[in-house]
Amino acid sequence: MEYIKNFTNLRSKHTAEVGGKNASLGEMISRLGPKGIKVPDGFATTADAYWYFLKENDLKNDLKKLMDALDTEDYKNLKNIGGKARKMIMDAEMPEEFAEAIKSSYRELKEKERDMESVAVRSSATAEDLPSASFAGQHETFLNVKGEKEVVEAVQKCIASLFTDRAIKYRVDNDFDHMKVALSAGVQRMVRADKASAGVMFTIAPESGFDKVVFITGNWGLGENVVQGNVKADQFYVFKPSLKKSRYPILSKTMGTKSKTMVYSDAKRHTTKNTRTPQNKKDQFIISDEEIEQLARWGILIEEFYEKAMDIEWAKDGNSEELFIVQARPETIHSSKKDKSKLKNYTLKEENGKRLVDGTAIGDKIASGKVRILESPDESDKLKEGDVLVTEITNPDWDPIMEKASAIITNSGGRTSHAAIVAREIGAVAIVGAEDATEKLKKGHMVTVSCAGGTEGIVYDGKLDWKEEEINFKKLKTPKTEVMLILGDPGLAYQYASYPVKGVGLMRLEFVINNAIKAHPLALLNYNKLKDKSDKKEIKELTRHYDDKAEYFTDKLSQAVGTIAAAFYPDDVIVRMSDFKSNEYSGLLGGKEFEPEEENPMLGFRGASRYHHNRYREGFKLECEAMRIVRDHMGLTNVKLMIPFCRTTDEARKVLQVMERYGLKQGWHDLEIFMMVEIPSNVVLIDQFAELFDGFSIGSNDLTQLTLGLDRDSAEVSDLFDEKNPAAKQMLSMAIKDARKSKTKIGLCGQAPSDFPEIAQFLVNEGIDSISFNPDAVTQGIKNILKAEKKK
């Protein structure tokens, strides 16, 4: 009988003998090692060895009787059954031949890896009739194991973990015969991540399944904190096409709090322990840009080798400074969803609900229910069907009860935490990393949990109303008129990338500046001269990871624009340069010191007039630098730029000259610069503006208000605002016809074509090239355009 197989001898065909996890490690060592991927060496015990262990201890019949006695309706005796099964295995004796085979292989591994200090012993289950079945997260792993005797004991503990409560229920839920599933233990050289860092990598975006990015997350110390979701880890998104073209591929870098660091412990029976992360390490990213890129390259190679999206664990050795892949398995949540044309869109009807708690959103749904705060799975009887489960953190022991909850909220954890993974699997609403949810939320209180707003999940007071819209894009034909999106939040980009659109017709920078940057660009450039001590203190905290506060602005803005550009690549993403009015800019941190007080900001210092003016030109320079990074550094040349509120052709020339001076030369690397058509002068002189710009986008709101001579912010005259007014429609007609005469592209951004079919008909009849909608209006907008084109 073969008790042991070395990793170097394992291939995918051995999955039935050693489980998918161990077979995958062997496959990577032999097939991907030559391509530069480093995998720690080791060996695996076999399924035959497992059955031999049961036979020699006469356990099979007793275990079968135990499993047959399981209450599979309410699982009331699950804890008792699981405990008895594990004790039965731990009380058994390890057969001498099996034990000696483990010891011998361990000695050989130590001889081969001379600087090896300890090993990790990981469980890898397999089913006889379904060898490719995934049992991810159901069984135990033992770290920092030293010595022959200790390795044998860890293997026996792995065998016992085949009967954890969660694993037993998992097999019942997935219709596996308990007595046809075997356990293989993988014994692998331990990477000294306790002296460095470790984490998880997905070769697709974990929330949306968007397949053009690699998502990497990690923490200082051993990787268990990331796998278990005990910390807010660092997060990185890497764009695959840019990486393959040797351009800067890192779309975003988010620094986590990284409060705990897991290290080895010398105490007997406690192989690891958590320590507090020092402040200086909390303020550092766990790996460098070069290491982020290296991991992403490895992720792509692994994905290409297996021809499927992968869920990968990585670790960095603090002694050698080398990166390693320690585990790889197929990603199952998004990969199993074959039909991505059907979506359900959730929208809160009440936008001003009272916020109680927020955290990281998992998924994009909304749910409501009564709060139930549980300290452990043992309190499962307190959770009623449809309740909102609130706890510190979950682990696989929570699996049997989580499906009862309408929503799941945890104080700790990130996108790869257990709660996040289970929520995706069961399609539940979840918010992780909500920090003090167990303190702020009250038992029995009705709440609404919304993950429909992008990356931020919010818990609202009471039961709010929301709208659910079933979208089936397969039923929609593609109109001749291009349909594009209006977008501002990069957190929603990957989700909306699957919509049947031809890119983004309007990306608003204001959303990013207001929500992510929060500070006025000139306040960042003149930080030391700021007079407002309160604003200065807030800016100091916001930018504490940056010595150069201007770099904070360009980093945040370029990452946001880069994320949206990557999501829709290679389709156009038209970015409108900032169009705050002076009163809105004043609301940013430090803004009051740099903005004029105007009687009517709507008609004042806004748009193009700011960009070349001494008062704001240096702030515009930062915007231009961020766009240059996206286009030239990241290689996302699908980004086009757009100038808002440009009153005269002379002003247009000045702005274009300033942009060229700041590295954004029209035509360079196919750079196109568009202009918003929103002032009557734009329409009257559109042929002259067409000599300066590559395209136009009609801003119907501003064009309507300026045609009718009213301020739409004024409550007294707002009822006169009407995009269907004959004068407003005449302006639209003139703009479209004259743009077409000059052979210049022209589109429109706004709600009217989705709200009013007659406006869609009018635009199609006039020959508009494209129409951009907010995401929630895309379906209706396409329907209106298709009807209009049919009539035309």
Instruction: Measure the N-to-C terminal CA separation of the chain; round to a whole number of Å.
Output: 78
Nearest to 590 by CA among 638, 627, 538: 538
**Residues 171, 142, 330: CA angle, nearest 5 degrees:** 50
The b-or-e profile of 399-421 (16+ CB within 10 A means b, else e) is bbbbeebbbbbbbbbbbbbbbbb
- β-strand partners of 589: 519
**Residues 506, 511, 514: CA angle, nearest 5 degrees:** 150
Burial of 249 (0-12, 13-18, 19+ CB in 10 A): buried
Tokens of 339: 């039909």
Position 685, amino acid: L
**Alpha-carbon distance 388 to 412, whole Å?**
16
Contact status, residue 414 vs residue 256, Cβ threshold 8 Å: yes
Query: Residue 176's Cα: distance from chain center in Å?
Result: 33
Position 664, amino acid: L
The CB density around residue 266, as the number of other CB atoms within 10 Å, is 8
**Alpha-carbon distance 326 to 188, whole Å?**
8
Q: Hey, CA dihedral for 59, 64, 69, 71, is it positive or negative?
A: positive
Alpha helix ranges (H) inside 513-630: 521-525, 533-542, 549-568, 582-586, 608-611, 617-628
**Alpha-carbon distance 687 to 356, whole Å?**
53
Q: Which of 334, 418, 520, 612 is catalytic?
A: 418
Nearest to 101 by CA among 6, 32, 194: 6
- Whether 418 is a known active-site residue: answer yes
Position 116, amino acid: M
**Alpha-carbon distance 295 to 216, whole Å?**
8
- Whether 613 is a known active-site residue: answer no
Query: Residue 192's Cα: distance from chain center in Å?
Result: 28
Query: Residue 630's Cα: distance from chain center in Å?
Result: 20
Question: DSSP letter at 426?
Answer: H
**Alpha-carbon distance 443 to 440, whole Å?**
10
**Alpha-carbon distance 459 to 355, whole Å?**
6
**Alpha-carbon distance 71 to 399, whole Å?**
16
**Alpha-carbon distance 660 to 666, whole Å?**
7
Active site residues: 418, 749
